[in-house]
Structure formats: C-alpha cells, structure tokens
C-alpha cells in the first residue's frame, strides 16, 4: 500500500465512521466506484478497529513525567537523531491509564502504588481499555465459568415459579385492591356527603333559630312602641342631643336584657334614612351617625323586610364613639321592626348574645365527631369560623396565622405546595387563587370531590361543601388523602409485601435448582479444576482472571473470550493466539497450560501467571531507565523473538505493556513477552487458523511504518522496529511519538523522526546507544538489523560497557517494586 492508497483508505474510513452501521457499507461502495478491494479494506477497518484504544495509547504516554513530578516533557514534535529539538504541538495531560480526567488544580507527585494499578497481579491481559458501553459480564468470580448456564437455568426456573405463584397472587391482589379502593371511595363519598349535609343542616337550624328568636324580640310591644316613638321623633329633625337624650334607648336595652337573659346584650336601631336612632352605648355617641358602609347592604335588606346576619366579622373602631368589646369576630342578627300596619319602619341589630361562640361550637362539634376539618367561609372566601385543624397546623409551623387570627383573617387560598415553617410566613394570601372547594362553594355550588386537591396549607385532601343561599355562607368539610384512603393503601401494601415475599421465594427456589444443576454441570466442565480468584484486566478480545488450580494449588491466568466477541472472526483469532503461543518454549515467552471450549461455547486459555510489572509500569514508577538495564531487558526480549521468528512467527504487537518484568533471585531482572493475539505466521498453512487483516492492527505508536503502508505483508523486521521503540521508551521515559489523534500519529510515524532521547532524558546518551536505537527505528526496513539475532549480537557488544546485574536489580526492586 503506497502513501496515496493509504490516504484514500484513511479518508474513506474517517468519513464512513461518522455514519450508522446500516449506512456505512452503502456509503463506502458508492465512494469506492467499483474498487472492491478498497471496499474490503475499509469495511474490514470499520469492523475491527477500536478508535478509543488507539486514542488512549496516544494519550497514555503524555502524563508520565507529570505523574513523577518531573518538568513537562517536550512536545510530540520531531527532530533528527542528532539530539536537536524541534517545535511541535503539545497534548493535554492525562492519567497513565489512558482516561481523560479533569485537569488537576496543582501538580502532585504520585506514589508508586498510585501510578501502578494492581501491579502485583498484572498479567498478560492487555492494558488497553475497551468501550465500557459494550456488553461485558461482571458476574461473581465463583460463578463465572458456568454463569451462562446458571443464569439460563435460573431464568427458566424462576419464570415458571413466578408464573405459578406470584402472577396469580398479583392478579388477585390487584382485583382485591381495586375492589377495596372502589368500596373506600364509595364509603368516603357517602361520609363526605353525609357530614357536609349534617354540618350544613346544623348551621342552617342554628341561624333559623336565632333569627326567629330575635324576630320575636322585635315584635315585643314595649320594644316596638319605643322604636315607633323614636322614628316619629327623628322625622321632626330634632337636634342630635335630643335623640341622644331620649329615654327609649334605655327602655329597649332593659327589655332586651330581660328577654335574652344576657346583661351584655347590645343593639342598634336605624331608620329608613340609614341613621342610627337608638343604641346600647351609654354615651349614645353613635346616635345620629349613618350606618357603616360595610353593613349598609344588610341594613337595606332588613328595611325591605328580610332578616339578616352580620358577620362573623372583625369590627374596628373606625365608627365614631364605638369601641369593640373583643378582638374576636362579631356576629349579629339584623331584623326589621314593623308598626301596627305591618309596615317596616326601622331595622334593629342585636348582638352580644354569643352568636359567634355558639356558631363556632356547632361546627367544631361536627368536625370532632367525624374526624374531619369543618369550617365556614363567606362569599369572599374568608374563613369565618375557628378551625381546630388550622390551629394544629399553626402550632406545627405549617400555617402562617395564629389561631385567634384565623376567623375573618385567613383567606382560604391554595399555596401550591405543602407549607413549611419557612414558607408559611411568606405566603401572600391575597395574590393566590382560592382552593378548589372554596372556589366552587363561593360560586353557589354544592359538591363532593374525591380527586385530591390542596387545602389552605397545601395538604392533599378530599372534601365536600354546601352553599347556603339563604344565609350567604358555605360550610366545607375536608379529610386528608392519606387518612381517607388508608384502608386501600394497607391492602395494597400487604399485597406488595406478599408479592415481594413470593418473588424472593421463587428466586431462591430457582437459584437452588440452578445451583443443583450448576453443580451437576461443574463436575464435567473442563474448567472445574480452576477456582476464579479475581479479575486482572481486559484486552481487545478477552478478559483475564487470576485463577488457582484446585488440585495443584498453582496460580494461573485464565483468559476467556469476551461476551461481545463471540463471532466467527474473533473465535478464530482467539484460537490462533493460543495455538501460536503454545508452540513457543522460550522461558522469555509466556507459557500456555491449557486451551479449549466448554459445551456452551465459552473459549478459554489457561496461561502462566506472571508476577511483576510491565515495562510501562516500570517507567511510570522510576522514569527513564539506566542504559545497562535497558540493554539487559532488550536482550531477553530478543531471545523470545528469536525463537518466534525462527518458527516463522511475527509478534506484531511488541510494546511496553506486553513485556512483563520481574525479579529473579539468581539472575536479577527477568523479562517475559506475552499477548500473541496479533501474531501471524510468515507463511500461513492449513494448520493455522487464518483471520482477515486490518489496516490498524496493533498499537499505533509502536508500529513500523510499513505496517501502515502494507498491512498484509509479514516482515520480522517490523518487530525489530517495535523493539527500537521500546528501547526509546525505556531510555527517554516517553514513547517516540505521542499524539491523541490517530491520523496525526500515523503521519508522524511514516514521515518524521522522534525527538532526541537526551532531550527527554535530561542528559546526553552515548552515540553507540543512539545508533542502536535509531537503527532499529529506521523508516526503511532495509536499513534496520536484518534479524533479531543480529540485533542481539549488537546488544551483547554494548553490555560490557554498561553493566547491570543482580545487585542493581535487587536495589531497584527494593525501592520501587515492593508493592508489586
């Protein structure tokens, strides 16, 4: 693949990647204009490439120096091998795991344990993260091997148990609940209707009785004669003092005290001119004064022959000469006074006979007897009685008005929400709408409403109301929704509890049956010999677990094909990795113990459990490495690849994350190469599973340039290039190229040289070492070492100048690797 072809494939892939899966192929076919090979290459790329992993690899290298508390590294620009710096772009710092965190407010040196995650258990699971949105089984480790069969058995068992036990109970419960709810609603409607009618009847009878009593007083001869005399006197327009001095006011007062039996009885008489002609006040200061504007309408109706009730209403002292007896609302009866010809000649108001107190008592008794909130409202929506429930709400902090201020002080409006102590004091009642019950009642309607609405404190209630057209007020009875529907709620809660218990019982029974089936299945499962200990990591295809052989007690690494990778291509790739890795015997290559598939199709591979740190973690803990150590480790990597290349096998994914380093007491540092998931034979034959090639297979920042140009061509010298990149990484503490954008990273690898090692390292690197690294990393494969064996010999010639032995390794591991 030449550069032009590569550019065409890349541009077409990037354009198609933005489309949904259903539209990608049609778009690629249309753009390829009949080039089927181009279609195959791009579709293979779309099907296999994980862009997040490639981007994470580019970001992963940038934060190493920041995490170690070192000065910021040089940007990912390029320079010639002669240790000279060139400008370039910088990239944003990220954590070593490759995930983008929020930028830190200040730099902080990370500890070794913070930099390396679970270093003691790191194994040949690739550190690359796959998309967490994909399907991935996080079942309990003890159930992992047989999870699929267990879950299926549990679903089947719990399904029929649920149908047999829970479903009928749920249906019966629902029917019972609906029946109880209907009964409760019917009983509640009857209750509200009966109480509303009863309270309304009590109020009407009270008003009728009191009005008839006062009317009988007005018909008394002595009172009527006195009023006639005063009316006649007023018609002569005498001086006001004459009216005030008239003895008739005292006679009327004396007679009313006798009739009512109450010394505090009071009265006022008005003639047709709406002028006060008699009064109970000793000073008579109100005689000669016109009727107060608020009572003029009631007086006018009384002068037309009707009996009216004034209030309950709070009386202020705005009337000249009148001082209210109490701060509580006043209630009075206004009756017409008739002469011998049955003509209305005046209107008389009688109060002070405890009308308001008795009216309040009637409503309070009705409320207490039924456990309801009962109160009366006038046409303006003002509460004109003293509600016991409102007083209770005030003491709880849920109402803004004190009990002695509620009557004729509380406008019954809906605050919108249930009030708290903070909001109750801020309520402006005049700006709020009336509650549903009061709004309906003041329109002259009588109704019962079972649909919950808010009362004057924002509580959810149901209620009934009756409007009295004769006396122009309404009585309201209300009950909290919680109390109103308590029986239905108890039934519903009981059946929910019963259903939950039955569900749990069905699940437990199903689990026991599934466990019994699981144990029977485990006896013949190929992995029943292994006990899962913990999850170690996730790679592009598999999930790796730490496991222990039940009989031998040996730690192993158990790799399972990921749940979202059970397609034919991935199964063949998984098979190929196990088969190729098992053919290797070098002590510096990971050892394969077992491989196969379960009856359910779970592909597994049992491998050597590697203790230690990956080379990426080594650099993360201590930065750039001593030259002698780099040569020592690279020589062991070469040993692993010499065997692989000798068997015509190319690794294709050599990188720091795929090389494990541990401490051996006899030789010091010990390196093991793992993850042969992308390995390919130079000359494939029928005995090797073949999978399709993709353009971006491998880790981009460690891939040789020819891998981008001709991805299907297998060349062992591509692994030599990757070894050179690893050497650069160990010496510099940074990868040779680091770009977040894969497209920019590919361009750098194909056409540019990395920044000099010494610039990152902070010190000069000998020419012999630079020459070795840059020879491996040559853009042209012909300019590299021809074989890994030749590279190994070149390393051997340099090792004598840069010794690294057991003592140095032990010292490093003691300082940086004790928590591995």
Binding site feature residues: 559
All residues at 6 or more sequence positions from 411 whose CB lies less than 8 Å from its CB, including other chains: 380, 381, 382, 383, 429, 430, 432, 434
Q: For residue 460, give the H/E element and its range.
A: strand 460-468
DSSP string, 338-353: E-TTS-EEEEEEEE-S
- Residue 177, token pair as written in the block: 């609940």
- Strand 555-561 relative to strand 603-608, pairing: antiparallel
Q: Which helix (H) or strand (E) holds 582?
A: helix 568-582
CA atoms of 317 and 285, how far apart (whole Å): 13
**Helix (H/G/I), strand (E/B), else coil: 397:** coil
Say how far apart CA 252 and CA 222 lie, in whole Å: 8
**What does the alpha-carbon distance between residue 58 and residue 3 come to, in Å, rounded to a whole number?**
22
Measure the CA angle with vertex 449, ends 444 and 454; round to 5°. 95
Length of the chain: 820
Residue among 598, 632, 662 nearest 820 (CA): 662
> Which tokens belong to 564?
């979202």
Point out the annotated binding site for ATP: 559
The CA distance from 207 to 194, in Å, is 20
d(CA 792, CA 458): 85
Contacts of 683 (CB under 8 A, 6+ apart): 648
Place of tokens 């690629």: 28
Q: How far apart are CA 710 and CA 712, in angstroms?
A: 6
- DSSP secondary structure letters along 709-753: H-TT---THHHHHHHHHHHHHHHHSS-S---SSHHHHHHHHHH-P
Backbone torsion region of residue 668, taken as left when φ is above 0, otherwise alpha when ψ lies between -120 and 50, otherwise beta: left
Cα 641 to chain center, whole Å?
51
């Amino acid at each position: 693949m030449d550069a032009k072809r590569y550019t065409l494939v890349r541009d077409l892939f990037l354009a198609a990647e933005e489309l949904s899966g259903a539209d990608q192929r049609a778009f690629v076919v249309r753009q390829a204009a009949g080039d089927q090979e181009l279609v195959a290459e791009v579709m293979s790329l779309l099907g296999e490439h994980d862009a997040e992993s490639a981007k994470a690899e580019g970001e992963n290298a940038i934060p190493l120096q920041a995490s170690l508390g070192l000065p910021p590294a040089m940007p990912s620009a390029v320079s010639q091998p002669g240790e000279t710096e060139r400008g370039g772009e910088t990239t944003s710092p990220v954590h070593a795991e490759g995930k983008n965190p929020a930028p830190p407010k200040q730099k902080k040196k990370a500890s070794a344990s913070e930099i390396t995650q679970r270093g003691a258990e790191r194994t040949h699971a690739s550190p690359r993260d796959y998309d967490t949105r994909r399907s991935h089984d996080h079942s309990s480790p003890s159930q992992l091997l047989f999870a699929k069969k267990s879950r299926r058995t549990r679903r089947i068992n719990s399904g029929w148990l649920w149908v047999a036990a829970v479903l009928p109970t749920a249906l019966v419960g629902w029917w019972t609940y609906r029946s109880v709810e209907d009964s409760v609603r019917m009983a509640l409607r009857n209750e509200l209707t009966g109480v509303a009618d009863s309270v309304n009847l009590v109020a009407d009878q009270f008003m009728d009785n009191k009005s008839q009593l006062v009317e009988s007083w007005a018909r008394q001869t002595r009172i009527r004669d006195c009023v006639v005399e005063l009316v006649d006197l007023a018609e002569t327009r005498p001086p006001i003092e004459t009216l005030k001095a008239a003895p008739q006011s005292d006679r009327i007062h004396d007679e009313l005290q006798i009739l009512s039996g109450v010394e505090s009885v009071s009265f006022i008489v008005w003639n047709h001119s709406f002028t006060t002609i008699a009064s109970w006040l000793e000073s008579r200061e109100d005689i000669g004064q016109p009727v107060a504007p608020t009572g003029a309408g009631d007086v006018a109706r009384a002068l037309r022959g009707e009996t009216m009730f004034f209030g309950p209403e709070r009386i202020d002292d705005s009337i000249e000469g009148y001082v209210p007896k109490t701060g509580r609302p006043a209630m009075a009866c206004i009756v017409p006074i008739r002469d011998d010809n049955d003509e209305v000649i005046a209107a008389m108001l009688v109060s002070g006979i405890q009308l308001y107190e008795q009216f309040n008592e009637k409503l309070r008794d009705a409320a207490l007897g039924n456990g309801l909130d009962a109160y009366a409202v006038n046409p303006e929506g003002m509460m004109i009685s003293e509600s016991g429930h409102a007083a209770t709400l005030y003491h709880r902090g849920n109402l803004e008005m004190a009990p002695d201020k509620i009557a004729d002080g509380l406008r019954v409006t809906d605050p919108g929400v249930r009030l708290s102590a903070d909001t109750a004091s801020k309520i402006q009642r005049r700006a709020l709408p009336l509650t549903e019950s009061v709004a309906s009642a003041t329109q002259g309607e009588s109704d019962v409403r079972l649909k919950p609405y808010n009362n004057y404190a924002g509580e959810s209630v149901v209620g009934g109301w009756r409007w009295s057209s004769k006396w122009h007020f309404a009585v309201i009875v209300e009950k909290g929704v919680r109390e109103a529907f308590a029986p239905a709620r108890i039934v519903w809660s009981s059946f929910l509890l019963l259903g939950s218990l039955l569900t749990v019982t069905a699940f437990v029974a199903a689990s026991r049956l599934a466990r019994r089936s699981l144990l029977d299945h485990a006896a013949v499962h190929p992995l029943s010999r292994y006990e899962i200990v913990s999850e170690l990591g996730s790679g592009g295809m598999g999930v790796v677990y730490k496991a222990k052989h039940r009989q031998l007690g040996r730690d192993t690494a158990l790799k399972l094909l990921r749940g979202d990778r059970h397609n034919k291509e991935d199964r063949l790739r998984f098979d190929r990795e196990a088969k190729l890795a098992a053919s290797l015997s070098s002590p510096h290559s990971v050892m394969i113990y077992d491989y196969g598939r379960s009856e359910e199709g779970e592909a597994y591979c049992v491998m050597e459990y590697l203790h230690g740190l990956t080379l990426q973690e080594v650099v993360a803990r201590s930065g750039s490495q001593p030259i002698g150590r780099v040569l020592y480790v690279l020589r062991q990597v070469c040993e692993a690849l010499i065997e692989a290349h000798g068997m015509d096998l190319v690794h294709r994914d050599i990188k720091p994350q795929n090389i494990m380093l541990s401490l051996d007491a006899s030789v010091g540092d010990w390196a093991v190469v793992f993850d042969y998931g992308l390995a390919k034979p130079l000359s494939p034959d029928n005995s090797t599973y073949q999978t399709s090639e993709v353009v971006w297979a491998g880790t981009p920042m460690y891939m040789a340039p020819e891998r981008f140009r001709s991805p299907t061509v297998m060349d062992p010298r591509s692994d030599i290039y990757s070894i050179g990149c690893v050497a650069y990484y160990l010496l510099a503490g940074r990868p040779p190229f680091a770009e977040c954008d894969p497209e920019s990273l590919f361009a750098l690898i194909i056409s540019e040289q990395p920044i000099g090692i010494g610039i990152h390292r902070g010190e000069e690197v000998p020419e012999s070492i630079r020459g070795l690294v840059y020879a491996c990393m040559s853009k042209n494969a012909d300019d590299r070492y021809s074989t890994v064996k030749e590279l190994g010999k070149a390393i051997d010639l340099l090792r004598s100048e840069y010794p690294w032995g057991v003592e140095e390794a032990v010292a490093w591991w003691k300082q940086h690797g004790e928590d591995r």
